[in-house]
Amino acid sequence: MKHLHLVWLWLFGQVLVSGAHAEGLLPRPAVIFDDPIDGGRDSEVRRLMDDRIHGMVEDLLDGDSYVVAYRNLTAEGTDCVPHLLKALKDPRFHKGRRKSYGWQCPVNEIVELLIKFEPETAARELTVLLNSPKGGIRRNAAFYLGRTATDECAKSVKDILAGKDYEMQVYATRGIAQAVSENRISAAFGAAVFEPLVAILSAEDEVSGEVPKCLVKINAKRAAEVLTNDKFLDPSSCLLEPVLSALEEGRVAIPAEKIIRLLGQLRAEAARYPHSREYGLGLLILAHNRCPQTESLINQTLVWGDKETRLLAMRARCVWEGIPDPDSFVEKLNEERRLSDLSDPQKKVVYVTNLENHVGDDGFEDYFTCTCGRNATLAVSSLREIGALRTARLLQKAMDEFGEKGPSRNTEVRNRQLSEMNDEQLERLDRLSERFRKDEDERRLLVLQFALRHKDHFCPATTSKTATSAPATSTRASLPTSQANQE
């Protein structure tokens, strides 16, 4: 059969060849463009390509299509640069985006793409826009020069910060703060703007609060010399909280005696905000710097502090015990591994954290709508395990609204159950959500205590060696008597 098929193909080929000989050479396909050197063809292709890219850039103005447009422009590469530069000077792209929630500026995507393809060109064109007659365009240019934070932007941003236009300083500083959060500041840019930022910090105005983190990110050692000045480490300073927050987040090494002296000054007012938060940040700094007095100060604070101070004191205890941030650590672990691969204590923290995030923000209805709602029963037992008994009862009451069998583990079925609830049931869920937000159990504090009791499962240095199937090691944290009795 195979041979017959080959013979048939050979005969068919012979027919075609003989036909071609009989008719002469086949005619050349018609050419769309008549230009002999194909110049017309190239220009038409270029025009079509330009039209397509122009359409993509225009789609950045639309809240429904800008995400796809940005992805497509990224794929186009440097071919889209001329169109982006033209849009950068168009006032429409400096205003809010159509059909979008909140205020979204299309110039954000334009600058992102220009930085990706031609950072020098982006810096040059943004510098030109600093002289625009339109204030909104000038302010956006200052913000994006600060946010771009490359060597090419250094001089322009330094001049803005050292100038007398307060609004431009505000926008440039916020751009730098954004660049800091995105880890994109170049060495030359940081060196150029450091001193002007210190000058703005000393002014103690509305934008000064964003400066300490910028200074620490640019040069932690120089920042420590500036930020530990008695002018800033003073209970009366309006910059005390952002300064302490920057020093703590940056893990900056500073003289412990300065923080201990500050805590002594804050103690009388430390049970009330904002001094409660400032006191807690001071404890965290001492813990990072391994100050010998840290443990004693933490124990005292857990007795007399308010809710926020106690929480920060317990975070300081975790740092002291080698567990820098149990919540973030487990969240990262959950992203890298499947839930089934986590240890039992880690799973319990995941169940409680998911409940906290969803109900705390949007209520029980949102929690049961999402996929994590399938683990509601496990969340109840986890809450009891960490000691959050009131919250466990609230969650159980919310589950009872689904009937005798409770919420289905299938998300689609569970959503159908929610849609079939009457107004009275939904109102009860809302009331339970309000009670949940009062946080009578101090759940985050209890989660940290739980992590300390099972520290082998939450220490970055030991977790990779801990078998996920191993039983939880109960290492009880040494808590003040009042705390231990509550547990």
User: Is the separation of the CB atoms in 356 and 330 below 8 Å?
Assistant: no
Question: How big is the chain, counted in residues?
Answer: 487
Nearest Cα to Cα of residue 59 among 25, 79, 87, 18? 87
Report how far residue 372's alpha carbon sits from residue 402's, in angstroms, rounded to the nearest whole number. Answer: 16
Q: Tokens in use for 368? A: 């049961």
What would the two tokens of residue 302 be?
């857990």
With beta carbons less than 8 A apart as the criterion, state whether 145 and 178 touch: no
3-state secondary structure labels for all residues of 310-355? HHHHHHHHHHHCCCCCHHHHHHHHHHHCCHHHCCHHHHHHHHHHHH
Rounded to 5°, angle at Cα 451 from 473 and 398: 110
Residues 6+ apart with CB under 8 A from 143: 171, 172, 174, 175, 178
Q: How many CA atoms lie within 13 A of 420 on its CB side?
A: 10
- State phi, psi for 162 to the nearest 5 degrees: -85, -5
- Residue 336, judged by CB atoms within 10 A of its CB (0-12, 13-18, 19+), counts as exposed
List the beta bridge partners of residue 62: 98
pTM score, whole prediction: 0.77
Q: For position 29, what pLDDT does the model report?
A: 41
Whether omega before 274 lies within 30 degrees of 0, making that bond cis, reads yes
Please name the residues in contact with 44: beta carbons below 8 A apart, sequence gap of 6 or more.
32, 33
What span, in angstroms and rounded, lies between the C-alpha atoms of 403 and 239? 53
Rounded to whole angstroms, what are the CA distances from 91 to 94, 126, 182?
A: 5, 13, 26
The tokens describing 359, both together, are 């109900």
Terminal-to-terminal C-alpha distance of the chain: 84
Distance, CA of 274 to CA of 205 (rounded, Å) = 18
Domain ranges of the chain: 219-320, 355-486
Q: What's the CA gap between 189 and 214, in Å, rounded? A: 12
Neighbours of 184 (CB within 10 A): 14
Q: Distances in Å between the alpha carbon of 43 and those of 31, 55, 83, 168, 269?
A: 15, 18, 17, 43, 74
98 DSSP β-pair partners: 62
Q: How far is CA 471 from the centre of its chain?
A: 34
Alpha-carbon distance of 58 to 201, in angstroms, equals 40
Within 387-437, residue ranges assigned H as helices are: 389-400, 411-419, 423-437
Instruction: Note down pLDDT in tens along the chain; length 487 residues.
Output: 545 555 555 555 554 445 444 444 434 344 444 444 555 567 888 888 889 999 999 999 888 889 999 999 999 999 999 999 999 889 888 887 766 554 568 888 898 899 889 888 989 999 999 998 888 889 989 999 999 999 999 999 999 999 989 899 999 999 999 999 889 899 999 999 999 999 988 776 667 888 999 999 999 999 999 999 999 999 999 899 999 999 999 999 999 999 999 999 999 888 888 899 999 999 999 999 999 999 999 999 999 999 999 999 999 999 999 998 887 888 787 777 888 889 999 999 999 999 999 999 899 999 999 999 999 999 999 999 999 999 999 999 999 999 999 999 999 999 999 999 999 999 999 999 999 999 999 999 999 999 999 999 998 765 544 444 344 444 334 343 333 333 3
